[in-house]
Amino acid sequence: PSQPNNLEAFWMPFTMNRQFKKAPRMLVSAEGMYYTAQDGRKILDGAAGLWCVNAGHRRPKIVEAVQRQIFELDYAPAFQMGHPAAFELASRLVTLMPGDLDHVFFTNSGSESVDTALKIALAYQRAKGEGTRQRLIGRERGYHGVGFGGISVGGIVTNRKFFGSLLTGVDHMPHTHDKAHQAFSRGQPEWGGHLADELERIVTLHDASNIAAVIVEPVAGSTGVLIPPQGYLQRLREICDKHGILLIFDEVITGFGRLGASFATEYFGVMPDIICTAKGITNGTIPMGAVFVRKHIYDAFMNGPEGAIELFHGYTYSGHPVACAAALATLETYQEDGLFQRAADLAPYWEDAVHSLKGARHVIDLRNLGLIAGIELEPLQGQPTKRAFDAFLKCFERGVMIRTTGDIIALSPPLIIEKSEIDHLFTTIREVLESIE
């Protein structure tokens, strides 16, 4: 396809694409670890698209499954009807899910999964006869998508500040890299637990009888790869248990192998009450999300508050047949290639590669877990975010795709990455950091 010549009229789905118009970076095809740009250059994908293409691009099994399904059943309403692939997918997903979160709602994105989870939490508390439990607790620097539910419980200022009327009754805990808290308690063996105790403070302030749920990303991704200190998630679980508060994990990024386990829940050994997923569920091919809950929570939501079958929830495209086919083939691909184990096996090599940037120009912090990394750069005075964005542009020129968020480079390659590609990724980043102001 030729380069569109009127980019003003050219619609793109992200407001972040303001800069894109100046120098369009068009991707025209993809395979395995690589995109092909419009000028024919191969681009190493260090970000798995947007944290979603965990099995690598254009996997034949997934492509064929999508084609087969679209020829057979292009659409089926999930409203009083069903189709076999949705049921098969639900049962396959549940076997992958640790613990007893064995009921699934399908959505079309991470943002919808979050909205669905928050609604389920509120409806469940009401069905239990605890209708005063309406407050929700998120975290500073939490990212939960761009719906009103997600930006309300999320903590990204730029996503919130233009929308005065967000959900009311929401509080935010400090994030796990809160500088003041780190200075105060890092080095103490229990500092993760102390940080989680911030939740107790909020619970005391409002009284537990008013609080429905707490939502966190086990590892915050989009705000710069913030890895929880030891004991943090466990302590959140304990506090929620003590007060009858539901714990929701947003595993939109951490699900489907990113940490070298099927879910972060398994990796950290902490079971939430509700899990939100999306992205890797279809390897990025077709939009889809899924929310996992326990049976009694599912029943409460299905039956509605006060047992009246009046609660309405579901999307036109919930459990879309083509998305289900893509997800089934994705799960088979993950399994056949042993990709979650592969990520676990590669994690030490990845860790060494990340920390090889210690002392590299502009780098002030390095974080990693599984096949995810955050490289924090010293902000350029007066121009925060510029340095990381310049690094992104330069990497792209050199055929490497990274993602940046604020002053942080975030990496999350497809789990099929080879060691030589890891080397290339980090060598390129080091050279690029040397070359930028």
The only residue of 46, 56, 145, 406 in contact with ligand PMP, by rule CB under 6 A: 145
Measured from the CB atom, the residue of 109 and 368 that comes closer to ligand PMP is 109
What's the closest the beta carbon of residue 434 comes to ligand PMP, in angstroms? 30
- Print the binding letters for residues 179-218 with ligand PMP: x by CB under 6 A, - otherwise: --------------------------------------x-
Q: Which residues share a beta bridge with 374?
A: 367, 410
Distances (CA, A) of 395 to 287, 349, 401, 425: 28, 21, 6, 9
Residue with the CB atom nearest ligand PMP in the bound state: 110
Token look-up 């789990």 returns 415
Kindly tell me which of 143 and 350 has the beta carbon lying closer to ligand PMP.
143
Report, in Å, the least distance between residue 109 CB and ligand PMP: 3
What's the number of CA atoms in the CB half-sphere (13 Å) around residue 169?
15
Residue holding tokens 């395979």?
31
Q: Of the two residues 16 and 183, which places its CB atom closer to ligand PMP in the complex?
A: 16
Tally: H helices and E strands in the chain: 16, 15
Taking the complex as a whole, the smallest distance from the CB of residue 61 to ligand PMP amounts, in Å, to: 23
| Closer Cβ to ligand PMP, 171 or 250, answer by number | 250
Q: Are 235 and 197 in contact (CB under 8 A)?
A: yes
Distance of CA 10 to the CA centre of its chain: 28
Q: Which is nearer to ligand PMP, 56 or 145 (CB)?
A: 145
| Of residues 133, 116, 150, the one with CA closest to residue 302 | 116
Provide the H-helix boundaries in 261-381: 264-268, 295-303, 321-336, 339-355
Q: How far is CA 432 from CA 61, 62, 288, 300, in A?
A: 36, 35, 35, 53
Q: Give the SS3 label for residue 413.
A: coil
- List the interface residues with ligand PMP, window 89-128 (CB under 6 A): 109-111, 114
Out of 54, 152, 176, 222, point to the residue binding ligand PMP (CB under 6 A): 222
Where in 236-255 is the site for ligand PMP (CB under 6 A)?
Answer: 250, 252-253
| Residue count, binding to ligand PMP (CB under 6 A) | 14
* Cβ atoms of 322 and 74 closer than 8 Å: yes
**Spatial distance between the Cα atoms of 188 and 177, rounded to a whole number of angstroms:** 15
Look-up of token digits 């691909």? 333
Measured from the CB of residue 253, what is the shortest distance to ligand PMP in angstroms? 4
Which window, 139-147, 235-243, 319-327, 352-360, contacts ligand PMP (CB under 6 A)?
139-147
Closer residue to ligand PMP in complex, CB, 287/305 = 287
Q: In this chain, which of 49, 56, 138, 221 binds ligand PMP, going by CB under 6 A?
A: 221
Q: Are the beta carbons of 291 and 116 closer than 8 angstroms?
A: yes
Q: Cβ of residue 207: shortest distance to ligand PMP, in angstroms?
A: 29
Smallest gap from Cβ 151 to ligand PMP, in A, equals 10
> Is 278 among the residues that bind ligand PMP (CB under 6 A)?
yes
Interface residues toward ligand PMP, by CB under 6 A? 109-111, 114, 143-145, 217, 221-222, 250, 252-253, 278
